Copies of this chain bind each other. A is one copy, B any other.
Amino acid sequence: MFGTVAIVGVGLLGGSLGMALRGLARHRNGSRIADRVIGIARRPSTIQEALQIGALDEGGLDLAAAAGADLVVVATPVLSMAPLFRALAPHLTDGALVTDVGSTKAALMEQLPSLLPPGVHFVGSHPMAGSEKGGVLQSDPDLYVGARWVVTRSGTTSDEAVARVWALAEAVGSEPLALDPREHDEIVARTSHLPHIAASALAAAAAAGGIDTNQLGALAAGGFRDSTRIAAASPEMWRDICITNRAPLLAALRDLQLRLSEFETALVNGDGDSLLRSFECGQEGRRQIALAMPERMRPR
């Protein structure tokens, strides 16, 4: 399907993609999606690890290694993408296709396409896969299986470029979905970015009451574990995501604050009816959203 693919940024997403491109996902039965997978990272140790786990055919530290690739996938933190695209541009071959895996899309779709030379195609991607455990050593060739892969286009994106990224998403086992970048950002503000802020604030608040964390841990169980799981994710990555989706995220955050202040008022007043309504509202919101989740992600 592809000749040479260059993956720039070899963390969990880049490493897992490399493994999938090399045919290691279960549904591929060893059948490769790309003839050659080149990884480019900042640290030699990352390339070493990526080669060891079978995520790459070759690796290097120089963006010049992307020359000759017919597909370049950029899998670095969102705020690093613009400078990286500028540095990458001189090395790209005419006709090459570039995509990113950034978690926000509107800011990137405004900025990135104009940084690439004419003759190079750009499509925005957001595969909805990941884990709070980052790093190339966590890579999993099946990471993308059953996940939604959002595909976004700018005014200059050709149908053919979109079709090739669509085919990439399907080949690694994902379910591609075309979305307007702003619409994407408003949705993920509520389904992904707000949960990260909530989990992080919750974990910080749990530890903030002056109670020894050993005592807290002794009584913490599955509810605490699961509701704060994503608080373990990379702070740098999530800073970047939040800073590039400020307006939709602020609107979502204020909806969360409003609901918490309703809980607060009900507790102050000892108002059981109001508490009941608030819990019912959360239960119903969760039920409706869960019903529409992709099969593999849906709660059992």
A200 touches B251 (CB 8 A): no
A227 touches B299 (CB 8 A): no
B235 touches A200 (CB 8 A): no
Q: Which residue of B lies closest to A227 (CB)?
A: B195
A57 vs B73: C-alpha distance when bound (angstroms):
62
Q: In the complex, which of the residues B197, B283, B288, B297 contacts A235, with contact meaning CB atoms closer than 8 Å? A: B283
- Given A195-B228, A230-B226, A282-B204, also A255-B209 (CB < 8 A): yes
Within 90-130 of A, Cβ neighbours of B (below 8 Å) are at 128-130
Q: In the complex, which of the residues B148, B183, B224, B282 contacts A200, with contact meaning CB atoms closer than 8 Å? A: B282
A217 vs B150: C-alpha distance when bound (angstroms):
13
- List of B residues within 8 angstroms of A50 by Cβ: none
Query: Which secondary structure dominates where chain A touches chain B?
Result: helix
Interface check A167, CB cutoff 8 A:
no
B299 touches A232 (CB 8 A): yes
Copies in the complex: 2
* Chain A count of residues within 8 A CB distance of the other chain: 106
Q: In the complex, which of the residues B225, B236, B249, B299 contacts A276, with contact meaning CB atoms closer than 8 Å? A: B236
A218 touches B253 (CB 8 A): no
B255 touches A220 (CB 8 A): no
B203 touches A289 (CB 8 A): yes
A199 touches B219 (CB 8 A): no
B270 touches A246 (CB 8 A): yes
Q: In the complex, which of the residues B192, B213, B281 contacts A223, with contact meaning CB atoms closer than 8 Å? A: B192
- List of B residues within 8 angstroms of A257 by Cβ: 257, 260-261, 264
Other A-B pairs beyond A204-B278, A217-B292, A221-B293, 7, CB < 8 Å = A150-B219, A204-B281, A206-B252, A227-B227, A242-B266, A243-B272, A256-B260
